Amino acid sequence: MRADHTPHFADYELLDSGDFEKLERFGRYVTRRPEPQAVWHRTLSEEEWQRRADASFLRDARSDERGEWRLKPNVPSRWSVDYKYGDMLLRMRLGLTSFKHVGIFPEQASNWNFIYDRTCGLRSRGIRPRVLNLFAYTGGATLAARAADADVTHVDSVKQVVTWARENMVSSGMEGVRWIVEDALKFVNREVRRGNRYNGIILDPPAYGRGANGEKWVLEDNIGEMLERCAELLEAKDAFLVLNLYSMGLSSMIARTAVHQAFGVPADEESGELYFEDLFGKQLPLGTYYRFTR
């Protein structure tokens, strides 16, 4: 297991972290929002955080998840950031949601690079890769695969989020993604029955969620079945898998063991924590990952 510092991301910076919050720069603007893993103290003063933050998330006292954003004058509620790696250029639209999210998880840039590199590698061997992105959110991983000319199927149960991902595709100068608004597990089971196969599968499941028709998803209860079905969809060779776990308490060792049971033990694998280091050297873990190539 290893920690994986996110690659250079010119439009993103973790400025400071601590006291269960993080101060981040996305392009031109700085946001302040809760971060349950920042258990240490911040380095900058409260006055400095207030001065720097263009948009601050205020949690609703009646909810652990919901809240609202307070913006300084002339700060937009939407703007875009770019991420460049090799010949890949992704343009992602940010939006300040009531769940504190902004439409992008910048630590995922490490996975985007992996997906792009593996897909380009398949193309160089004369393979037209088919890639499936499950729980695909606003599409960073989808666009990384599409930038390498893969045939990509993007699955998310929230129609508005799929629309957001489509906007990101257009902004990034791409086209041709297959969009599916459906419960991920239901879709995967149908693909197994159809006998479809993929060269790449990306899984970024939430701890809890609801499908398009109210289907219930609980990570600990459902991840085993999901991995078993995905093992039936992934090609036996010339293939890769990416699994992210954001749920606190679930380690990359858990991810690795679960994948081994479903897929077998691959020859080439890597796992660990994704993290950013703030300007004062404090390392903030932002999820675990597991990746393999075969």
Of 69, 131, 141, the closest CA to residue 107 belongs to 141
For the entire predicted model, the pTM comes to 0.94
**Over residues 175-197, mean pLDDT:** 97
Average pLDDT, the chain: 93
In order of their start, the domains of the chain are 10-77 (2.60.40.1180), 79-293 (3.40.50.150)
Distance set, CA 149 to CA 193, 254, 288 (Å):
26, 32, 27
Instruction: Name the pLDDT band for 207 (thresholds 50, 70, 90).
Output: confident
pLDDT surpassing 90 at residue 27: yes
pLDDT surpassing 80 at residue 183: yes
The predicted pLDDT at position 247 comes to 61
The predicted pLDDT at position 7 comes to 75
Instruction: Name the pLDDT band for 210 (thresholds 50, 70, 90).
Output: confident
Distance CA 92, CA 84 (A): 11
Distance CA 10, CA 81 (A): 9
Instruction: Name the pLDDT band for 278 (thresholds 50, 70, 90).
Output: very high
Is 201 within 8 Å of 224 (Cβ atoms)? no
The predicted pLDDT at position 61 comes to 74
The predicted pLDDT at position 2 comes to 61
Distance set, CA 172 to CA 80, 96, 107 (Å):
11, 20, 19
pLDDT surpassing 90 at residue 161: yes
pLDDT surpassing 70 at residue 249: no
Residue with tokens 């029955």: 193
The predicted pLDDT at position 250 comes to 74
Instruction: Name the pLDDT band for 79 (thresholds 50, 70, 90).
Output: very high
Instruction: Name the pLDDT band for 5 (thresholds 50, 70, 90).
Output: low
